[in-house]
C-alpha cells in the first residue's frame, strides 16, 4: 500500500510517484468506502501503475457507525458492498 491519496496533497503526489515509478509489485491506494470521491482520487494516482489495486474499508465499530456515519450495522454493510 503506497498511501491514502485523498488525505493530502503530499499523499497524493507520493502515491502517484510510486505508482508511476515502482515496477513489479502490486501498488495499492487506500480509499474509504464511505466516500466515493476517494476512489476517483485513488484511480487518478494509480492509473499509471502496472498492477493497480484499491484498498478499501468501512469503519465498523458501533460508536463510529452511530456518531459519524449515522448508520446502523445493515446500512454500514450496504456501504461496503456498494463500494466493491
Domain boundaries along the sequence of the chain: 9-83
Tens-of-pLDDT digits for all 84 residues of the chain? 999 999 999 999 999 999 999 999 999 999 998 888 999 999 999 999 999 999 998 887 899 888 988 999 899 889 888 888
The per-residue pLDDT for 63 is 93
Q: Which helix (H) or strand (E) holds 6?
A: none
The per-residue pLDDT for 79 is 86
- Whole-angstrom distance, CA of residue 42 vs CA of residue 38: 6
The per-residue pLDDT for 34 is 86
The per-residue pLDDT for 8 is 98
- Whole-angstrom distance, CA of residue 84 vs CA of residue 82: 5
Residue 44 CB-density burial (10 A; 0-12 exposed, 13-18 middle, 19+ buried):
middle
Amino acid at each position: 500500500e503506497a498511501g491514502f491519496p485523498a488525505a493530502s496533497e503530499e499523499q497524493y503526489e507520493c502515491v502517484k510517484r510510486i505508482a508511476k515509478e515502482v515496477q513489479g509489485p502490486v501498488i495499492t491506494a487506500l480509499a474509504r468506502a464511505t466516500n466515493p470521491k476517494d476512489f476517483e482520487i485513488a484511480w487518478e494516482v494509480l492509473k499509471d501503475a502496472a498492477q493497480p489495486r484499491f484498498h478499501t474499508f468501512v469503519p465498523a465499530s458501533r460508536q463510529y457507525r452511530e456518531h459519524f456515519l449515522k448508520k446502523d450495522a445493515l446500512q454500514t454493510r450496504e456501504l461496503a458492498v456498494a463500494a466493491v
